[in-house]
Each structure stands twice: as structure tokens, then as C-alpha cells.
Amino acid sequence: MTTSAQYQLVRLANGVHSLHSVAERETFHPVIGPAAEAEALYVRQLRLRERLAEHAGEFVIWDVGLGAAANALTALRATRELDCSLRLISFDHTNEPLRFALDHAEALGYLLGYEAPARELVERGRIAFANGAQRTEWELRLGDFPALLAGAVAETLPKPHAIFFDPFSPAKNPAMWSLPLFTRLFQLLSPERPCALPTYSRSTLLRVTLLLAGFHVGAGHATGEKEETTLAANTPSLIEEPLGRRWLERAQRSHSAEPLDGLSYRQAPLSPASWEQLQQHPQFR
Ligand SMILES: C[S@@+](CC[C@H](N)C(=O)[O-])C[C@H]1O[C@@H](n2cnc3c(N)ncnc32)[C@H](O)[C@@H]1O
């Protein structure tokens, strides 16, 4: 195990290496490892290769929780053969995990071949480069994501076609899973630009939050780490397995379904107002 003050390099049971955050006491991609989880949860589930191949013009991805860049780099590697333009906007309030990962690129594996652009991203905050046949622009928005989203500058960001949503868990990182945050995120999307957001949690609380924020929500693929994840989108056409009335009935009975306000983590059943609003969602009518 290699350690800095804030991160440790850990070897998972399958022999793959990942990062562990000392402060949050959470391991990034703890079961199948960084690249395998990124491939299953984001690349395959979003049909990224297919969507990029069919896409005309710039394709925009928001990478929320850059961390050690496993999601970002797995997406870049998976799409490098495609003659296309990709704009990748990563968000994090620290670039320390990526700095740490660069110092352990050999053990982590997924950074190999991308050390130079990743280092430039850390040093300068942006890089434009040829990623195989792909024209890639990659920038890092360093700062508190909820605060950035709430500000006027968020309106000026290119609207995403896909969002990788990968903060720490809701219990550790409640500000990143709140109803105000997802409501604002939904408002920032363009109705003319279909956009899908996969994330690793399948909790009722998260799914209710996404629905009340305006998203359509479905069951997401298994990843090897989780038997089910969640896929949200601003159009039903991007959701293969939409949550239906049986899920709604279970949500009504759940002891943990009421969205978080962003200040703290707590578990509570749906309030009457949330239940009322949930039933009016177009997905259930
Ligand atoms: C599980 S890690 C992300 C792993 C990463 N996607 C990867 O592929 O390596 C969660 C990340 O969310 C970031 N994060 C947590 N709260 C945040 C906030 N309020 N604003 C911005 N980033 C935040 C953390 O700094 C951390 O890097």
C-alpha cells in the first residue's frame, strides 16, 4: 500500500489497484476497479461509442467528480478510434486524487498513454489534443460543484449530451445528491439536446430526487459491482427500463425516500407533498 496524507493506493480482491480517500474513508470503484466500472457504468450504459459515431458536431460530456480520472480516461480510450469532436468538462473541488494517481500510473494502469494530457489538465486546467482519430478538448472546473452550478457561470457552459455522476456516497457527500442540486442540473440541460446521466446508486431516495427534479428515471445496468444502477435522462427515449407503478408503490412504503435538502444526510419516508408531486410525473401518467 502506498500512502500520501490524503490518498492510499489499494489492491482490490481481484488484483486491480484503486485509490482510497483517507478523509472520506471511501475507496474509489471498490469492487471491480476503476476502468472496469467506468466501462460498464458509463461507456456501455450510455452507448457512448454508438452515440459518438452517429453524432454530428461536438459531443459534450460533464464528468462530475473527476477524482483520479478513471471515468474520463476510460471514455477517452473507448472512443479514440472515432473520427469525432469530444468536449469533456470535468468538475471537482480538488485535483489531488489525479495528482496522486499520476504518481502511481503504472500500478493503476488506466492512465498509461494518457499521462501527458492528464498532467497538463492538472497544471493548466485545460488541454486540446488529438486522441487517436478524435479531436478532444478537456477542461477541469475546479471548485465546489453545487456552488458552481448555482452561479451564473453555469449558464455559459456547453450543454451536455451525457453526464458521468460520481461523487462519494450520499451519506458522506449529501450536498452532491440534493433535490436543489438535481433541480438546477435539470434546468441547465437543453430540452433540444437529449442527455443521459447514469450513476452507481439505485437507492429510492436518489430515484425520487431525480424524478422530482424533472428527469425520467430507469433501472440501470449491473456493473459487476452493483446488481442494478440508475439511469436518468431529460427524455424518455434514452431510458430502456423506466421505473413503473410497482416501483412507485414501493417508494411510498420506503423508510428512506424523501429527497435531501443538501445540508445533511438523513433518512425519511416520502412527505405528502413529495408523494403528490411524484404521482403527477409524466412517467407515471
Ligand atoms: C468517488 S470520487 C470520483 C472518482 C472518479 N470519478 C474517478 O473516476 O476516479 C468522488 C469525487 O467527488 C469529488 N467531490 C465531492 N464533493 C464535491 C463537491 N462538493 N464539489 C466538487 N467535487 C466534489 C471528490 O473530490 C472526489 O474526487
Atom of ligand 1 nearest to the CA of 71: 8
User: Ligand 1 in contact with 20 (CB < 6 A)?
Assistant: no
Q: Is residue 119 part of a domain?
A: no
Q: Is residue 107 part of a domain?
A: no
Range of the domain at 215: 30-96+124-284
Ligand 1 pocket test, pick from 173, 178, 200, 201 with the greatest ligand atom count within 8 Å of Cβ, gives 173
What average pLDDT does this structure show over 1-7? 73
**Residue 89 Cα to ligand 1 middle (Å):** 14
Q: Is residue 25 part of a domain?
A: no
pLDDT beyond 70 at 143: yes
Q: Between β-strands 162-165 and 58-64, what pairing exists: parallel, antiparallel or unpaired?
A: parallel
User: Ligand 1 in contact with 73 (CB < 6 A)?
Assistant: no
Closest CA to 232 of 198, 278, 190, 258: 198
User: Ligand 1 in contact with 65 (CB < 6 A)?
Assistant: yes
Q: Is residue 105 part of a domain?
A: no
User: Ligand 1 in contact with 183 (CB < 6 A)?
Assistant: no
What average pLDDT does this structure show over 176-200? 97
User: Which tens digits make up the pLDDT trace of 124-134?
Assistant: 999 999 999 99
Q: What are phi and psi of 153, to 5 degrees?
A: -60, -25
Closest CA to 6 of 113, 115, 127, 93: 93
Q: Is residue 259 part of a domain?
A: yes
Confidence of residue 179 (pLDDT cuts 50, 70, 90): very high
Instruction: Report the pLDDT value the prediction gives residue 258, as an integer from 0 to 100.
Output: 96
Q: Is residue 18 part of a domain?
A: no
Q: Is residue 276 part of a domain?
A: yes
Q: Whose CA is nearest to atom 13 of ligand 1?
A: 65
Confidence of residue 223 (pLDDT cuts 50, 70, 90): confident
pLDDT beyond 70 at 59: yes
- Strand segments, DSSP code E, in the chain are 2-3, 7-11, 17-21, 26-27, 58-64, 85-92, 126-131, 134-142, 162-165, 196-199, 216-220, 229-233
Instruction: Report the pLDDT value the prediction gives residue 31, as an integer from 0 to 100.
Output: 83
User: Which tens digits make up the pLDDT trace of 228-274?
Assistant: 999 999 999 999 999 999 999 999 999 999 999 878 899 999 999 99
User: Ligand 1 in contact with 165 (CB < 6 A)?
Assistant: no
pLDDT beyond 70 at 3: no
pLDDT beyond 90 at 82: yes
Overall number of domains in the chain? 1
User: Ligand 1 in contact with 147 (CB < 6 A)?
Assistant: no
Q: Is residue 88 part of a domain?
A: yes
What average pLDDT does this structure show over 151-157? 97
Q: Whose CA is nearest to atom 22 of ligand 1?
A: 92
User: Ligand 1 in contact with 218 (CB < 6 A)?
Assistant: no
User: Ligand 1 in contact with 71 (CB < 6 A)?
Assistant: yes
pLDDT beyond 70 at 212: yes
Atom of ligand 1 nearest to the CA of 173: 16
Instruction: Report the pLDDT value the prediction gives residue 5, as an integer from 0 to 100.
Output: 77
**Residue 122 Cα to ligand 1 middle (Å):** 15
- How far from 89 is each of 81, 110, 164, 186, 215, CA to CA, in Å? 20, 19, 10, 17, 21
Give the CATH number, domain containing residue 91. 3.40.50.150
d(CA 235, CA 89): 22
